[in-house]
Structure 1
Amino acid sequence: MRDHRAFLASVPVAVREAMVDRSDGPGLRHLAGHLGAILAVGALIAVGVPGWWLLLPVQGVLITFLFTLEHEATHRTPFRTAWLNDWVGRLCGLLLVLPFEWFRAFHMAHHRWTNLPGKDPELAGPKPATRGAWVWHVSGLPYWWSEVSLLAALVRGRVTDSFVAEGAKGRIVAEARGMALVYALAGLSLVWTDVVLWVWVVPSLLGQPFLRLYLLAEHGDCPEVANMFENTRTTFTTRAVRWVAWNMPYHVEHHVWPMVPFHRLPEVHGLMREELRVTADGYTGFTREYLARRPGWTESGKV
């Protein structure tokens, strides 16, 4: 069977050129819908409509899944205009406490060394080995500790990751310090109003577990090999999930052809569907199978 390089080499040049052609329109329309949903749900929470607390996890999912847009922006594929990709990525990073300039370097290293131990920075933090570790991971608490610690280090000018180029360190530190200032002002606003708490902070805490579950499916339990058809998983899911995740459930498609804009990934899926080797039928199905491969609640595997 072919690997991802052989597949790409087999695609006609005209098709390859068409697939990587970028434009601002689809991205701006999708962004308007996503941000519009966040603002609309946030407004309902802010004014305290009856049952407003039921909207908190909805708002959380909408906010935390901006991660998929930030991820796409590192490739500069959602929009043709370069600065638009960068500033949208920075906005997403601000909302997620995930510095965009640092994440760009991290994510490029992930694409270069996908799922290869000792090289892929995503593997620096091990995937859950037991069901107890899975609960801790999915809670989102390790994520928040990691990102707050990272931000604190960057604010102090400490950029030690090997995947960060020397020339990028100044931008990374400057961005982190700007983010810290915004967070300080947001915290100060709590003296007068709790809107930030209920529209952003609490929803983000509630939404992070959904994102953790989603992200585990991308490479969790995939073979640690260089072939993108084997080290990455595409998950078949609903239109709503594909929409909020900017089509990233087509994850094999994205890794094989990372310069294709999000809105063309369904077409790429049509081209390579017969090549896919690691797939899941929905996130519930993936999670069930993932947990079935895990021992009990202790590191030793004893239930």
Structure 2
Amino acid sequence: MSDAAVSESGHRLKPLSPAMLRELSSRSNFQGAARSLCHYGLITLVGALIWKVTATYGVLWALPLVAVQGYFVAFLFMAVHETAHKTAFRSRGLNLAVGYLSGFIIGLPYEYYCLFHWDHHRYTQDPDKDPELVVGVKPKSDTQLALAYSGLLQVVGRVWLMFGHAVTGKVVVPWIPENRRAIIVTEARAYVALYALLLVLSLWFSSALLLWVWIVPLMIGQLFLRPYLYAEHTGCDRTRSAFQNTRTTYTGAIVKWFTWNMPYHVEHHAYPSIPFHALPKLNVIVDGEILYRGRGYIRTTRETWAWFRRQRQAG
């Protein structure tokens, strides 16, 4: 074997040996449970505070807590992402349980996302095959760009698609293979039925609990999540190498915790079998190979916004 190791994305590396790859790829039920319980625990705590403040003083006094809850709820997307790779836990059952629950909370059917995300890794930055680019918003004005960064279009789009699958029983998107389409329809119908049940119960009890601790925070949280997601690949090269088509963003410990270390996104795309808790160690090893390096999300968002504007002007 050559002295140079080859990443899972095809990029040749000298620093990472097969033995190191095996060590870093070790999965942990403890790490997954710690991250999940912390994330869900804070959602539960802040949700209880929102309901208490709302009941005592009125909803206006709870709005700062609703915004905080929005960050926590929206970033359950990261739990869906990590469990889609089956790397959050060693146990497949725990991956599925946390994946399905998190997907339900953010309105993103889990089985559908697993297949969507598989093609994203296979065809990263391919404008014709990467699902993120195929369904991505292509803003034609600053107003449309601002709306795209709000994340609302993306949420409405995926919920509309889910309802379409549930109602029509048809799946036509190319990243869902023919032999998996029945599962996607069944999943969509189960999600829609559960949402309908929760709506009926809320109306029956005349309760706005779910509105203020879940639905409104989920919408507000997109203002944090969407700029984060745009930072992953926007403005990067359209090549097969993860070290050229993906960005790692260097940020604080709190952000890395709630994003399940996915700011180390080059590392994740280069070696998707390595679980979230080992990505900081991988970063130390491959840091010198990374081409696109974000310096915090405020600065990186300015850069991605400017890139979208340049693309629109050039087109």
TM-score (norm 1): 0.93
SS of the residue aligned with 2:42? helix
Q: Pick from 256, 271, 277 the counterpart of residue 257 of structure 1.
A: 271
The answer to whether structure 1 residue 164 and structure 2 residue 169 are counterparts is: no
Moved more, 251-260 or 285-294: 285-294
What letter is aligned with 1:93? G
SS of the residue aligned with 1:190? helix
SS of the residue aligned with 1:279? strand
What letter is aligned with 2:50? I
Per-residue CA distance 1:273-292 (angstroms, 9 max, x = gap): 00010011001011122333
List gaps (5 residues or longer) in structure 1: none
Aligned residues: 300
The answer to whether structure 1 residue 31 and structure 2 residue 43 are counterparts is: no
What letter is aligned with 2:142? R
Identity of aligned residues (%): 39
**How much has 1:190 moved relative to structure 2?**
2.5
User: What does 1:1-303 align with in structure 2 at a 5 Å threshold?
Assistant: 4=7, 5-7=10-12, 11-48=16-53, 51-124=61-134, 125-128=136-139, 130-155=141-166, 156-191=168-203, 192=205, 193-295=207-309
TM-score (norm 2): 0.89
**How much has 1:239 moved relative to structure 2?**
0.5
Give the Cα–Cα distance (whole angstroms) in 2 for the partners of residues 127 and 43 of structure 1.
Answer: 39
CA contact (8 A) 1:24 1:80 kept: yes
CA contact (8 A) 1:222 1:278 kept: yes
What letter is aligned with 1:142? L
Moved more, 179-188 or 8-17: 8-17
Q: Cα–Cα, structure 1 residues 190 and 234, in superposed 2: closer, same or farther, change >3 Å?
A: same
Q: Cα–Cα, structure 1 residues 288 and 190, in superposed 2: closer, same or farther, change >3 Å?
A: same
Give the Cα–Cα distance (whole angstroms) in 1 for the partners of residues 305 and 268 of structure 2.
Answer: 26
Per-residue CA distance 1:150-203 (angstroms, 9 max, x = gap): 111211311112221223222211111111011101211232211011110111
**How much has 1:224 moved relative to structure 2?**
1.1
Per-residue CA distance 1:26-81 (angstroms, 9 max, x = gap): 00011110000000000001112663221001101101101011011111000011
List gaps (5 residues or longer) in structure 2: none
Give the Cα–Cα distance (whole angstroms) in 2 for the partners of residues 13 and 144 of structure 1.
Answer: 40
Q: Cα–Cα, structure 1 residues 13 and 3, in superposed 2: closer, same or farther, change >3 Å?
A: closer
Q: Cα–Cα, structure 1 residues 26 and 294, in superposed 2: closer, same or farther, change >3 Å?
A: closer
What letter is aligned with 2:169? G
Per-residue CA distance 1:187-246 (angstroms, 9 max, x = gap): 112322110111101111111111001000000111111111110000000101001100
Moved more, 136-145 or 193-202: 136-145
SS of the residue aligned with 2:249? strand
What letter is aligned with 1:16? L
Per-residue CA distance 1:83-103 (angstroms, 9 max, x = gap): 211121111110111111011
